[in-house]
A and B are shown apart, each in its own frame.
Chain A
Amino acid sequence: MYKRILVAVDGSENSVRAAKHAAHIASLDPDTKVDVLYVLDYDRTRSDVIHNAGRDDLHTDRKKRLAPIEAIFEQYHTSYEFTIKHGDPGPVIITHANEHDFNLVIIGSRGLNTFQEMVLGSVSHKVAKRVTAPVLIVK
C-alpha cells in the first residue's frame, strides 16, 4: 500500500524516531522506497557555512549529521534516497510532498529549535494540514 514514503528529518531525536517508523513501514514491502528530505532553514545554512571551510567540509558535516538516520535504513534494508533542500521547512516540505506522488508522509512532532516553533508555529502541524497524502506525526 505504501510504495513511496516521504520522511522529513532535521537531525533531531524526534526526526530519528520518525525515520525509524518510516524504515519499519517500508521494510514490510520490498518494493517500497523512502525519500528522506532534509530541509535547512536560513539560520542553519548560515551557521553551517560559517562552521565549515569550503563545500567539501560542508558536505561531510551534513553527511555526519544524517549518519544516524542512514544507519536506520541500512539496518532495515530498505531502499532510500536523501534530498537536501533549503528554505523555510514547513512550506518546503509541503511543496515537495505535494509535487511528488507519495502514499505516506512521516514527520517528527518537534524540531530542534523550540523558540522558532513558538514564533513560527509547529512545522508538523502545518504539514499535517496542507499535505494531500496521509501524514503520520511521530511523537
Chain B
Amino acid sequence: MVLKIMTWKEAWFGNIRGDILAGIVVALALIPEAIAFSLIAGVDPMVGLYASFSIAVIISFVGGRPGMISAATGAMALAMVLLVKEHGLQYLFAATILTGVLQVLWGVLKIARFMKFIPRAVMMGFVNALAILIFSAQVQYIFGISGMTYVVVLASLAVIYLFPFITKAVPAPLVAILALTAVVLLFGIDVQNVGNLGTITQSLPTFLIPDVAFSFETLKIIFPTALAMSIIGLLESLLTASIIDDITETGSDKNKEARGQGIANIITGFFGGMAGCAMIGQSGINVRSGGRGRLSAFTSGVFLMCLIVFLGEWVVLIPMPVLAAIMVMVSIGTFDWSSFSYLKKAPRADALVMVVTVLIVVLTGDLSKGVLAGVILSAVFFTAKISKIEVKKKVFPDSLQNIYTIHGQLFFASVQDFTKEFDDVQIGSRIIIDFTEARIWDDSGAGAIDRLIAKLTQKQVDFELTGLDASSIRLLDSLSIPYAK
C-alpha cells in the first residue's frame, strides 16, 4: 500500500482552521517542554524556546512530513549535557550547526532506507530509555526539597490527569500551570520557580556566529556530540513521521525530512538555539487537535514566540514542581507500555536486545550508544541464528535407504561442521539428502557440498541430492560439483 503525499497547496491551505487551532494548542504545550529540556541540557530556557520557535517554523517549510511537530526535544537535550557542561554554550551552538550539516548529508545519502535495519526491539528500547531519562531528570526537582514541593507536584499531577474529565478542549498541562502558579503566588508558597534557574528574554532571536575557534581542535570537541545528535534526531524524526503517516493515511518524504531537520538545525544554531528534532508526543497532540498540514507547525512556532515576547515576564513565575509534574506526564506518555507484553511474548534474544538497549542508555545517559549496542547485539544474535544448520535424520530400520533433511542456510559462517553430521552414514548404504528446507548461498556453501560428496563417495555410499532450488543448483554448477549422478 503506497500512501499519497500531500501537495504543497493541500499541506498549507487544505485545513486552515484545524491547523491554526492545533498550532495554538501545540504552542501552549511546547512552552513547558522547551523550558524543561533547556534545564536538562544545562542551558538558559531561552535556548530551548528559541530553538522550538526556529525549528518549528523552518521545518514547516522544508520538512517532508506535514502535520509533524519538531522543536527542542528531550532526546537531543540529553545528548548535549556533557558538551554544555565541559565546554559551554558557544560550543553547543557550533555542535547544533554541525548536527544540521550531518543531517543534510544523511538526507542526501538517503539514510531513510537504512531505518529498516534498526530492529524493533532497539526502537522500543530507544523510547523507553528516553522516557526513563526524562523522568530521572525531574527527580532533582521533586524529591528531597520540601514538603510543599511534593504537595505542588501531586496537585499538578491531579489537575493534569483529572482535568480531561471536565473538558478536553483546553490542554490539561496548561490548566495545571495557570491554576498552580496562581495558587503558589496567592498564598506565597515557597517553591523554586523557572526564574530561579534561568532567565527569560522577551526578544526575538538574533543572528550570531558561535564564538568558537574555527580549528581542528573545536571540531574534535563538537564532532562526537554532533554525530550522536544527528543520528538520535533522525531516529526520532523518522519514527514520528511513520506514526503520522499511519494516522493520517498520507505519505511523507523521509529523505526530505532528514534534509529538512538538518536545515532547521543549521539555522537554529546560528540563532542561538539548541539542536532539536521531531517530537512524538507533540505531533500526537497536533493530530489529535486536528492539525494535518504544514500550517500547524508554522502556527505553533509563531504563536510560541508571541507568547514569549508578550508573556515572558510571567513564564519565569512557573513553579518548578509544576514543570516537573508535566515532564513526569511527558515521560509516562513517552514510555511504550506495550513493551511489557512484548517482553513476555517475544523471542528471548529480542527481549534481551531491548533490555540491553535500555540499560546502556540509562548507564551512559547517551541514547546513541544504546541504539548502537542494540543494533550490534541483534546483528550478533541474527548471525548466530542464521548460521545454525540442522540435519534431521530419518532412519528406516528395515531398509538401507535413509533420508537426511537439511534445515538452514549454507554459507561461509554455517558450514564449518556440516560434513560431521554425516559421520554416522554406514559404508555401502544408500541415502537421500533433502534440500527443500535449505539453500546454498556462496562458494563456501557449495564447497561444503563438494566435501560431503567426496566423503560419501569414499564411503561407497549411494546418495541422491533432492529439493535443491535453482540458485543453489547454479552455484553447484558454476563450481562443477557433481551433485547429481
Contact = CB atoms under 8 A, between A and B. Distances in A.
A50 B123 contact: yes
Chain B interface residue count: which class? 20 to 34
Nearest to B162: A119
Interface string A38-60: 00001001111111111100110
B85 interface: no
A88 B285 CA distance: 12
B242 interface: yes
B362 interface: no
Contacts of A46: 243, 280, 284, 336
A50 B116 contact: no
A88 to B, nearest CB: 7
Contacts of B476: none
A96 to B, nearest CB: 14
A88 B247 CA distance: 11
Contacts of B124: 50-51
B88 interface: no
B120 interface: yes
A139 B124 CA distance: 34
Give the secondary structure class of A's interface: helix
A50 B288 contact: no
A126 B481 CA distance: 71
Interface in A71-114: 86-88
Contacts of B239: 49-50
Contacts, number: 54
Contacts of A87: 247, 288
B342 A51 contact: yes
A52 B118 CA distance: 11
B287 interface: yes
Contact of A53 (B120, B161, B288, B336): B120
Given A50-B124, A50-B239, A86 B246 contact: yes
B120 A42 contact: no
Nearest to B115: A53
Contact of B120 (A45, A52, A55): A52
17 contacts: A42-B284, A42-B288, A45-B243, A46-B243, A46-B336, A47-B336, A47-B337, A50-B120, A50-B123, A54-B116, A55-B3, A55-B246, A86-B246, A86-B249, A87-B288, A88-B288, A119-B161
Interface of B: 1, 3, 115-116, 118-120, 123-124, 127, 161, 164-165, 239, 242-243, 245-249, 280, 284, 287-288, 336-338, 342
Closest 4 CB pairs of A and B: A47-B338, A86-B247, A49-B243, A42-B284
Interface of A: 42, 45-55, 58-59, 86-88, 119-120
Given A42-B247, A45-B243, A50-B124, 12 more contacts: A45-B247, A47-B336, A49-B242, A50-B127, A51-B338, A54-B116, A55-B246, A58-B246, A86-B248, A86-B249, A87-B288, A119-B161
